[in-house]
Amino acid sequence: MVLGVILILLSLHPLITEQNYGGRLRRAPGMYFRAVGSLGAALGLLIVWLGLVLDFADKLPFAVILIGGLVIMIGEVGIVAWMMVLLKRYRLFRWEYVGYGFATVSGSFLLAVMAFRLVLEI
């Protein structure tokens, strides 16, 4: 969970200032860095959420776990779609569609955690 909090805090800089940390993406618009910050914050939130779920799994109803996971997953997919639009519009990378793989992997991981929790209840 500490890693998730650190990731959220590190993501606040590009999210708020729309500036890079000093990398090579000088031609990227500020909205791209806002999207990157949003994605980092969403990943940090997912890590914190998973930590809370694993720590308090016996005290939380499954509906709360499912709804929380779905909200975070829908947010991540939306952010990745936003990044794909920005990458395509400004032609920042040749590999614009890597984010689709990320969205699929993170969604699959989230569903695997929920399935594991369901198996533990049975």
Higher per-residue confidence, 69 vs 95: 69
End-to-end CA distance of the chain: 27
Q: Is the pTM of this model over 0.85?
A: no
pLDDT at 112: 59
What is the distance between the alpha carbons of residues 113 and 35, in angstroms, rounded to a whole number? 26
